[in-house]
Amino acid sequence: MPSTPRRGATAAADNIAIENPRFPVENTEKLSEEELKLKTRKEIQALGVQLGKMNIAAWASHDEKDEKKSSPRDINKEERGSGRTEFQKRAASWEEAEKSRYTARYKREDIKIQAWESQQKAKLEAEMRRIEAKIEQMKAQAHARAVKKIAMLRQRTEEKLAAAEARKNREAARITAKGEYIRQTGRIPSSNYICCGLL
């Protein structure tokens, strides 16, 4: 038996109704529109089961379940409630995503700040080492200058000491010469001579 009805659809429906004693043919004029829809769905479901077309049977029973659902007011309330929960879920997920995004951003900024801080510390430490090296160099140069000045001072001192020693020796030689003159002549030389000699 084919799954699609033939041209004489009413005749086929009558035959099915006759073959299936569970759904006897009734007067359609007496039935209301709702009952007619329900009867038609039941017939389609029975026909689907009889033909082995389970998807048709499931569709018919599904429509029956849809009909038993609550009124449009209840549907609107349910939709509003589910919409609110959906909005709350969406808002919570958006909030979590934003928080995680900002947390990651601030972590990146924190890493950048710490890297900048360590770079600045390294620069300052290098500057301090450079200044310390410069100070050590200046200290060494000052020490060398001081040593040089001390050496020059020692040299001048030695020169002055040598000059003083030479003067002392000359004076001693002159005094000795005068003493010898006095011994030989018996005369003391005049003071003018001594003053002029000293000058």
Classify 4 as helix, strand or coil: coil
Q: Is the dihedral of CA 94, 95, 99, 105 positive or negative?
A: positive
CB neighbourhood size of 48 (10 A): 19
In a domain, 41, yes or no: yes
CB 170 within 8 A of CB 197: no
- Least Cα distance to 46 among 12, 20, 67 occurs for 20
In a domain, 39, yes or no: yes
Q: How far is CA 32 from CA 27, 35, 36, 128, 186, in A?
A: 11, 5, 6, 102, 184
In a domain, 180, yes or no: no
In a domain, 149, yes or no: no
The pTM for the full model equals 0.36
The per-residue pLDDT string of the chain (199 residues; one tens digit each, 9 = 90 and over) reads 555 555 544 444 444 444 444 544 445 455 678 788 778 878 877 777 777 666 665 665 655 555 555 455 555 555 555 667 888 888 888 999 989 988 999 999 999 999 999 999 999 999 999 999 999 999 999 999 999 999 999 999 999 999 999 999 999 999 998 888 888 888 887 765 444 444 4
Q: What is the enclosing helix (H) or strand (E) of 7?
A: none
In a domain, 156, yes or no: no
Residue for token pair 């290098």: 126
In a domain, 29, yes or no: yes
In a domain, 113, yes or no: no
The structural domain count of the chain equals 1
CB neighbourhood size of 5 (10 A): 13
Alpha-carbon gap, residue 55 to 47, rounded angstroms: 11
In a domain, 37, yes or no: yes
Q: Which two tokens stand for residue 43?
A: 């017939």
Boundaries of domain holding 53:
9-69
